[in-house]
A and B are shown apart, each in its own frame.
Chain A
Amino acid sequence: MSLFGRRKYVALLNERQDRVLTEREEAFLDRYRADHPECVAEESLHDEGFAMLRGLGLDEDPAAPERFEHRVIRRWRVQSVKDTAAYWSPAICGALVAAIALLAMFQLVGRSSTMPPIDVTGNEARRLDPPKPVFPSLPNPGEPIAPR
């Protein structure tokens, strides 16, 4: 009950800042204050804090209003120029040229790596026919020599 009462008390304190409380709600606050005297001091702190907060408003105006407007308009001009195609066309052209150059470079590099190898079959190691002996083999002793 006490926790519920406390919650309602705090909620009403907050709501009091936005609207006029009903008589019933005011009566509840009075009853709560009477039962919990320590809350009265806290409530005055609460009111003081929110009064300070409301009084904290900065009434800022730029030191030189014309300069502020001038800056905004200058930035707006720069922005509108940047939004036009004419502003970006040199950059786009440059990017296009660079892209084409890169593409050409990649093409060249790719082609050199896929080139057919030079024909080096003549230098390949391969099995040759056995060499013919310089001297004919001699017949075994007793064998007749074959006529040439």
Chain B
Amino acid sequence: MDAVLTTHLPNEALVEELHWLQRCRQGDEAALAMVIARHRARIIRTAANILRDRHEAEDVAQESFLKAFRELHRLRDDRAFSGYLYRICVRLCMDRLRSRRIEPAEFDSVEESQGARVENRLVIQKLLGQMPPDLRATLVLREIEQFSYEEIAEMMHVPLGTVRSRLHTARERFRKLWIDATRETA
């Protein structure tokens, strides 16, 4: 298993995490809590950005930690833990997105009093809701979460070329949807 996503951890933190993971394997709950505390915020944020739902994101984050801990024995290299955790999280998010219906676009439902900024945020959320799960997740991971192509490929378990082509398609689709929505609301 690759260790691409561990690069954001400094060396000392990585050593610390390796030690915690050893303790997690022995069922040490304090070590579990430390691992959760380290990755919690980023995992929830990633899930929230993909799903656009805070409660669902917390639920997915919990499931991701549980699954990662349950399958910790399968992990050959503990340095790849964070990549493994993000991969689980993204997959769970994709499963949830696939089980949702594509939301119809209704741009006239926004109240004028909410202001243009809020209105635009809502429009963008709706546009994301109209995109297929694969494209949406790729776009969010790159544009909002600022992950590299390699990290996205690892998380989504697809080749680098697929990430490039998905991102290109996603950007194209988003651009068209955004321009159409802007013309519609104008």
On A, residues with C-beta under 8 Å from B are 10-11, 13-14, 17, 42, 45-46, 49-50, 52-54, 56-62, 65, 68-69, 71-73, 75-77, 79-80, 83
Contact between chains at B182 and A45 (CB < 8 Å): yes
* Chain B contact residues, majority secondary structure: helix
Binds A, one of B12-20, B65-73, B92-100, B106-114: B65-73
Determine the chain B residues whose CB is within 8 A of the CB of A13 once the complex forms.
Answer: 175
Q: How far is the CA of A10 from the CA of B178 in the complex (A)?
A: 14
Contact between chains at A60 and B48 (CB < 8 Å): yes
Q: How far is the CA of A50 from the CA of B128 in the complex (A)?
A: 12
Interface centre among A10, A13, A57, A65 (most CB of B within 10 A): A57
Closest to B182 in A: A45
Question: Is the CB of B74 closer than 8 A to any CB of chain A?
Answer: no
> What's the nearest-Cβ distance from chain A to residue B140, in Å?
9
Q: How far is the CA of A56 from the CA of B50 in the complex (A)?
A: 11
**With A49-B124, A69-B36: A62-B44 Cβ-Cβ less than 8 Å:** yes
**How many contacts A-B (CB < 8 Å)?**
100
**With A45-B179, A49-B124, A53-B124: A75-B62 Cβ-Cβ less than 8 Å:** yes
Question: Is the CB of B174 closer than 8 A to any CB of chain A?
Answer: yes
* Chain A contact residues, majority secondary structure: helix
Question: Is the CB of B168 closer than 8 A to any CB of chain A?
Answer: yes
Determine the chain A residues whose CB is within 8 A of the CB of B3 once the complex forms.
Answer: none
25 sample A-B contacts, Cβ–Cβ < 8 Å, listed by A number: A13-B175, A14-B168, A14-B171, A42-B179, A49-B124, A49-B182, A52-B121, A53-B139, A56-B124, A57-B45, A57-B49, A57-B144, A58-B45, A58-B54, A60-B48, A61-B44, A61-B45, A62-B40, A68-B40, A68-B58, A72-B65, A75-B62, A76-B29, A76-B65, A76-B70
On B, residues with C-beta under 8 Å from A are 27, 29, 32-33, 36-37, 40-41, 44-45, 48-49, 52, 54, 57-58, 61-62, 65-66, 69-70, 120-121, 124-125, 139, 143-145, 167-168, 171-172, 174-175, 178-179, 182
**With A56-B125, A58-B48, A60-B57: A11-B144 Cβ-Cβ less than 8 Å:** no
Contact between chains at A53 and B143 (CB < 8 Å): yes
**With A14-B172, A61-B41, A80-B27: A49-B178 Cβ-Cβ less than 8 Å:** yes
Q: How far is the CA of A17 from the CA of B168 in the complex (A)?
A: 11
Q: How far is the CA of A23 from the CA of B52 in the complex (A)?
A: 39
Closest to A13 in B: B175
**With A56-B125, A61-B44: A76-B49 Cβ-Cβ less than 8 Å:** no
> What's the nearest-Cβ distance from chain A to residue B162, in Å?
16
Contact between chains at A49 and B40 (CB < 8 Å): no
> What's the nearest-Cβ distance from chain B to residue A133, in Å?
95
> What's the nearest-Cβ distance from chain A to residue B59, in Å?
10
Q: How far is the CA of A53 from the CA of B125 in the complex (A)?
A: 9
